Structure 1
Amino acid sequence: MTAIGRSRALSTGILPRVLRKPLGVVSGVVLLVIVLAVIAAPLIAPADPLAQSLRDVRQGPSAAHLLGTDSLGRDVLSRLLYGGQESLAGVVEAVLAMLVIAVPLGVVAGYLGGIVDRIVLRVVDVLLSIPGTIITLAVLAIFNNSMLVAMISVGVLASGAFIRVFRSVVLGVRQELYIGAARVSGVDEPRIVLRHVLPQLRGVLLVQITLFAAATLGIQTGLAFLAFGPPPPAPTWGGMVAEAASLIQIDPWLLVPTGGIIAVTTLALCLLGDAVRDANQERFTFAGSAARRSPAAARAVERPAAPEPSGRSAAGALLAVRGLRVGFGERGAETVVVDGVDLEVEPGEVVGLVGESGSGKTVTALSLLGLLGANGRIVDGSIRFDGQELVGLSNAKLREVRGAGIAMISQEPMVSLDPSFRVGSQIAEAASAHRRLGRRSARERVDELLRAVRLDPSVARKYPHEISGGMAQRVAIAIALAGEPRLLIADEPTTALDVTVQAEILDLLRGIQQRTGMAIVLVSHDWGVIADLCSRAVVMYAGQVVESAPVRATFAEPRHPYTLALLRSNPHDAVPGEPLPTIGGVVPSPAQWPVGCRFAARCAFATDACRQAPIPMVDVGDGRMSRCIRVDALREAVA
């Protein structure tokens, strides 16, 4: 089987993968036969389970009695079939009680975190500290040997351990980029939980159900063995084992069918759980694109430059950010990582956000959508989008902006797509989050969006691991376009792609921007990408904007030493045989920001005055801003 065929085969659901495992098939068939036989006992049982015949006492297997008879001449097979109803019903009751408590609490604790998580964990501690055996026996005594109440109490007491299991799975899932991508697309939290979080519990849930069912069967039959539950002569598996144990010296055969059915059922449940676990893990074994990438046209040598705005006007700006400060940590003691950022984006403008890793570019972009995470917050400042203040908006109000007003694509498209769903399903979800669409309309909208990003509509039927990185980035762009946003934030959209695919993505973004008039904020460290697509560059360093200018002017005459150093370090301008110029040192961490210019320690133009006090942003003419007091010296050096 080829890699493509193998990955497609593994993209199916858990059931087909389990059916490919011999042990899974055998255990499933055995379990299904037992359950169906027990349910159909009134129809297939060869005799009345209570009918006695003193002439047929303790007989072995025969044509009349396939599994023999007990000490009162009752048919063992009939009693096993009817007794299984009580035993399996007890298992189902305990499992349902556990799921009703463990799944909601585990999902809520893992997804919401914070005080909800702490409260749930305290409840779990209480449940785990309760002696289960004593409580179960007490319940039986109080409720007159009611096995129903006893098994429900078993499920309730066991739920604590399973809450922790489900919580740990959800904690990992909520950090996945496709969850953030769903939020960016404007999908509400309940829908994210139902569609993206709960499906990730499927494998773990099935494994835990089978293992807990096996353990519960032992508890239920153990209680019946101790004479709890329905009194004789009503048949129960545990009661029949107790009777067989008392006659083991006289009739050892009786223990074989009575104990054997319990052992076989338990073993089938455990083996089925192993098969389900392996099938769920195999789901991603051959993940990774095996699709062949089609040849792409090389990037054109020259392209018409994007129009440059004549000036900055907050009144007409689509996005206006003022004094933005973002911190992480406990409220009131945050570590500020973005400090006093001012940013404007005009309608239809493409702005590049440039800087080294750790400069605050991505945090600034995420703050625009309120996606900073549980321990991140906007400490100060204003973010106005299309005249609406975003700082302080509730999650419900922000969801109205996400996707429909501001959309975002990340630098890792493959992990921003949910591996559980086909590509078309995820695009349709984003489209349906902003407008009511029927099944046919949603399918047509998906085809339209795929064509808009230059993909064949047949891609809609593929899973994320069946497409290449470039195709995945196009799908991510299609999802971002589903809400027809006015502003697109592209966070390193070409970083993980090869050069040819980078050119295709940039061409695609340019075409979409020119066709729709959408504004773009392009986060990148690649000057080639900035020059290719943007009309203005905003350079960030150590959480601050240090220069803002039209792209052409930035390349021709940088007005901040950091911008000059970045341009000189551009690997695209490397001279063969000569070492590439680099910037000595590293970006200082937020806890070590100096009082004065934050670039002074790495700057060739720095003087003592640069280190004495914070450096403000100043207008250096021609619609350009710079955070430097040595602009004149820099201008002379560049000239």
Structure 2
Amino acid sequence: MTVTETVADAEVSASPAVNPRFVRRLMRRPLAVVCLAYLAILVLIAVVAPMLMPHVGTDRAGDLGTALHGPSAAHPLGVDSLGRDVLQRLLVGTRVTLVGVVEAMAVVLALGIPIGLVAGYVGGKIDRAITWLADLVLSLPAIILVIVVLSVFPQSVTAAMVTLGVLAAPGLVRVVRAATLPVREQLYVAAARVSGMSRTYIITRHVLPRVMGPIVVQASLLAAAALLVQTGLAFLSLIAAPPEPSWGGMVADGVGALFQQPWLIWPPGLAIALTVLAFGLLGDAVRDAGTEGWSAKSALPLGDKRRGAPKRASAVVPASTDDSLLSVRDLTVSYATPTGPIRAIDGVTFDIARGETVGVVGESGCGKTTTALAVIALLGGGGRIDSGHVLFDGRDLAALSESELQAVRGSEIGYVSQEPMVALDPAFRIGWQLAEAVRINTGMSRAKAKRRAVELLEQVQLPEPHLVARRYPHELSGGMAQRVVVARALAGEPKLLIADEPTTALDVTIQVEILDLMRTLQRDRGMAIMLVTHDLGVVADMCDRVVVMYAGQVAERAGVKELFGNPHHPYTRALLASNPHNQHSSAVLPTIPGAVPMPGSWPQGCHFQSRCAHATDQCGSGNIPLLQIGALHEARCLYAHQIEGA
């Protein structure tokens, strides 16, 4: 027998931990409640029935005068070929059947979970040895080996099911290993290692809860498979020898009397089918309930299924300037929460011309990354575009379907994420990941895509690109990984590159190299760049224009020289004053008091008023518009015209 290996959930699922919230989510699903109730009744029957009817397991024959009679008042499920009550044997036989499933699952879980966690987390030679051994065991004919064991231990349910558990465990090992690999690369796992936590503690407290989703689903499938194997062996009289009742043995009795009384196969057959179905449905329900805690809220309107947003009414799309490649107009984004939608972006507007670099700056929590993700419609966690337009090369991306957006992402708009190690799949080599991006976005053959992947690695100035293509992400340094992410973003020859903190966590030398690389690629390809950053030094070095964001709004828009030389918003002035690049003495670096207000707690009027030295009562009433300072300079401040000088 081959146990099906399910790795569709190898992407890390949320942990269905046993906590009140999870239980409430699970109990809101009627199907889960029905499955739990059914399995609970079976367990109760398995415990109580043999104690109430001890004679059922020893009677070799009953009233032969009533043999093969159908259901009646005295015998609700009829009588078998030896005059024994079918209902009583079905109830008592539940214990043998469930005990066999429990024994097999105990072995599978005891072997599969820890070995899979060790293989995925430790890696190296241990991972290769475990994977080789798992493949070897999976290649063995399970049923034949179980029968061989039964020839040594005749009629032993325990021996048969323990053997089955050992042979099925490698399937779970591979699922757990695949789910553990990406979790091992998470920053919080690295932080736990740096903090001095033991490997055992990290695996049990940080990794295991994150991989419980795939484990639950696989365990439900394995439980159903174990039930089928147990009943199959009982059908063949290899375990649970007569007169001991079992569901599989009752099916065999029914088949033997099929022409005299076909009803006899129905009671045990239905019990087997319903139990297998209950295991499978309960596993899916537990997975969905666990996922519901972190996935996009299903309660959102269903109009736009790609982002959970309702279809917005048709509106006149504003025209962009002739040289604009990207024009964002009055973009508003909100996120679904248990208490209702919370606005994260409020009326953001800016343009990016062809071949231009525009920097989007601000503190953490100001909405920079959300704006970048909204442009390519990759808002997660219940995010949706409420209003506004994202005009790219004459098309409104906010109105496109998912299939139409898929044609834009990668081929026309590239994206470089904040953390390269998160953006790269740890289970595949660099060359394969780049080749797949090339093949999907350009339609090249696999052979040409492989050659193009090496060319991309060479273009981003990685030494020995052929060797780099054969490496896994964990074998690269941070600077090399960032170059690989840039190469993948360029795989489809995009017109616009969105770079979200491309130099975060890199040392100064590597930062300069990455910025020089982006500048060179832009010059050679004529790309436009949307650079999301909080480093004003990078903005001054790279950008043509700047969009300063604060608490979901555009605080100021201007050219680099105008903004650095003559800022008109108090927040921009505070950012420039706190820039360490401007400090040439030992004086204490100025800081901005307070913190960026969280979405949902923005103040009325000016969002910066609580931290602004120029704030008055008038700043707290009504919406503050963007005031025109110059031809290409705007600031969202009532006193913008009175604020001059850096």
How far apart in 1 are the matches of 2:175 and 2:7? 18
Residue aligning to 1:355: 362
Change in Cα spacing, 1:269 to 1:594, as seen in structure 2 (3 Å) is: same
- Out of 293, 316, 328, the position equivalent to 2:323 is 316
Matched, 1:574 2:583: yes
Question: How many angstroms apart in 2 are the aligned matches of 1:410 and 1:109?
Answer: 19
Match of 2:489 among 480, 487, 512: 480
After TM superposition, give the deviation of residue 278 of structure 1 in Å: 9.6
Distance in 2 of aligned mates of 1:467 and 1:350: 28
CA–CA distance in 2 between the matches of 1:540 and 1:502? Answer: 23
Report the CA distance between 1:330 and its aligned residue.
5.5
3-state SS, counterpart of residue 428 of structure 2: coil
Contact 1:584 1:602 in 2 (8 A): yes
Maintained 8 Å contact 2:320/2:327 = no
Distance change >3 Å, CA 414–CA 236, structure 1 → 2:
closer
| 1:611 partner letter | G
Alignment of 1:207-218 (within 5 A): none
Cα pair distance change 1:551/1:108, threshold 3 Å: closer
Which residue matches 1:415?
Answer: 422
Give the match's secondary structure for 1:318.
strand
SS of structure 2 residue aligned to 1:358: coil
Distance apart, 1:447 and its partner CA: 1.4
Tell me which residue corresponds to 2:458. Answer: 451
1:376 paired with 2:394, answer no
Matches within 5 A, 1:3-402: 89=1, 92=2, 95-96=3-4, 123=31, 126-131=34-39, 238=150, 241-242=153-154, 262=160, 265=163, 269=167, 314-329=321-336, 333-402=340-409
Aligned-residue offset at 1:271: 8.3
TM-superposition CA deviations, 1:166-211 (whole Å, max 9, x none): xxx9xxxxxxxxxxxxxxxxxxxxxxxxxxxxxx9xx99x989989
**Cα distance in 1 between the residues matched to 2:179 and 2:340:** 42
**Is the contact made by 2:605 and 2:622 (CA closer than 8 Å) also made in structure 1?**
yes
Alignment of 1:548-559 (within 5 A): 548-559=557-568
Q: Which residue of 2 aligns with 1:516?
A: 525
Please list every run of 5 or more consecutive structure 2 residues that lacks an aligned counterpart in the other structure: 17-24, 47-56, 58-76, 81-85, 114-126, 187-318
Tell whether the 8 Å contact from 2:181 to 2:427 is kept in structure 1 after alignment: no
Query: Alpha carbons of 1:120 and 1:398: their partners in 2 closer, same or farther (altered >3 Å)?
Result: farther
Aligned residues: 433
Is 1:535 the counterpart of 2:549? The answer is no
Contact 1:241–1:259 (8 Å) recurs in 2 = no
Whole-Å Cα distance in 2 between the matches of residues 630 and 285 of structure 1?
49
Structure 1, 581-590 or 526-535: larger mean CA deviation:
581-590
Q: Confirm whether residue 434 of structure 1 aligns to residue 441 of structure 2.
A: yes
8 A contact 1:487–1:519 mirrored in 2? yes
Q: 1:369 to 1:630 in 2, by over 3 A?
A: same
Helix, strand or coil at the partner of 1:522: strand
1:607 matched residue in structure 2: 616
Q: Which amino acid aligns with 2:391?
A: R
Instruction: Quote the Cα distance in structure 1 between the aligned partners of 2:472 and 2:352.
Output: 36
Distance 1:210 1:402, change over 3 A: same
Give 1:427 deviation, angstroms.
0.4
Following superposition, the deviation at residue 459 of structure 1 comes to: 0.7
Deviation at 1:103? 6.1
Q: Give the Å deviation of 1:462.
A: 0.6
Asked which structure has the greater RCO (Cα within 8 Å, sep 6+), the reply is 1
Given candidates 596, 620, 637, the residue that maps to 1:587 is 596
Distance verdict in 2 for CA 1:286–1:327, change over 3 Å: closer
Q: Is the 8 A contact 1:348 1:517 kept in 2?
A: yes
Question: Mean Cα displacement is larger for which, 338-347 or 619-628?
Answer: 619-628
Residue type of the alignment partner of 1:508? L
The CA deviation string for residues 420-447 of structure 1, in whole angstroms up to 9 with x for no partner, is 0000000001101112222321121011
Report how far residue 611 of structure 1 moved.
Answer: 2.1
What one-letter code is carried by the residue in structure 2 that aligns with 1:552?
A: K
CA distance in 2, matches of 1:482, 1:562: 38
Q: Distance in 1 between matches of 2:12 and 2:474?
A: 30
Distance 1:493 1:269, change over 3 A: same
Offset at residue 323 of structure 1 (A)? 0.7
Note if contact 2:150-2:159 (Cα within 8 Å) is conserved in structure 1.
no
In the TM superposition, what is the alpha-carbon distance from 1:486 to its structure 2 partner?
Answer: 0.5
| Superposition deviation, residue 561 in structure 1 | 1.0
Q: Which amino acid aligns with 1:526?
A: D
CA distance in 1 between partners of 2:28 and 2:429 (Å): 34
Cα RMSD (Å): 4.7
Stretches of structure 1 that go unaligned for 5 or more consecutive residues are 1-88, 170-199, 222-234, 244-257, 289-311
Tell me which residue corresponds to 1:17: none
User: Do 2:546 and 2:557's aligned partners in 1 also have CA atoms closer than 8 Å?
Assistant: yes
Name the structure 1 match of 2:607.
Answer: 598
CA distance 1:400–1:574, shift in 2 (3 Å):
same
Alignment partner, residue 66 of structure 1: none
Structure 1 residues 361-385: Cα deviation after superposition (integer angstroms, max 9, x where no partner):
0000000011111411001111111
Which residue of structure 1 lines up, in the alignment, with residue 502 of structure 2?
493
Report the Cα distance in structure 1 between the residues aligned to 2:580 and 2:12, rounded to whole angstroms: 47
The residue type paired with residue 603 of structure 1 is C
Q: Which amino acid aligns with 2:433?
A: Q
* Other structure's SS at 2:576 match: helix
Shift in alpha-carbon separation, 1:577–1:514, aligned structure 2, 3 A? same
Give 1:285 shift: 11
Identify which range, 437-446 or 519-528, moves more after superposition.
437-446
Q: Which amino acid aligns with 1:541?
A: Y
Structure 2 vs 1, CA of residues 363 and 260 (structure 1 numbering), >3 Å: closer, same or farther? closer
Task: Report the Cα offset of residue 349 of structure 1.
Answer: 0.6
Instruction: Give the TM-score of the pair, scaled to structure 2.
Output: 0.58
| Distance 1:431-1:587 versus aligned 2 partners, 3 A rule | same
Amino acid of the residue matched to residue 318 of structure 1? L
Residues 217 and 120 of structure 1, relative CA distance in 2, 3 Å threshold = farther
Per-residue CA deviations over 1:19-46 (Å, capped at 9, x if unaligned) read xxxxxxxxxxxxxxxxxxxxxxxxxxxx
Select the residue among 552, 555, 561 that pairs with 2:570. 561
Local SS of the residue matching 2:345:
strand
**Separation (CA, whole Å) in 1 of partners of 2:616 and 2:563:** 23
Identity, % of aligned pairs? 43
Distance 1:473 1:496 in 2: 11
CA distance in 1, matches of 2:332, 2:540: 28
- The Cα offsets for residues 91-110 of structure 1, whole Å up to 9 and x where unpaired, read as x4xx34xx5xx666x68996
Match of 1:624 among 597, 617, 633: 633
Mapped partners of 1:127, 1:259: distance in 2: 26
Give 1:263 deviation, angstroms. 8.8
Alpha-carbon deviation of 1:451? 1.1
- Code of the residue aligned with 1:358 in structure 2: it is G
Deviates more, 1:468-477 or 1:269-278: 269-278
Partner of 2:412: 405
Counterpart residue type for residue 433 of structure 1 = I
Secondary structure of the 2:431 match is: helix
Deviation at 1:631, TM superposition (A): 1.9
Give distance in 2, aligned partners of 1:600 and 1:384: 32
- Output one character per residue of 1:212-241: Cα deviation in whole Å (capped at 9) or x when no partner: x99x989x97xxxxxxxxxxxxx8855874
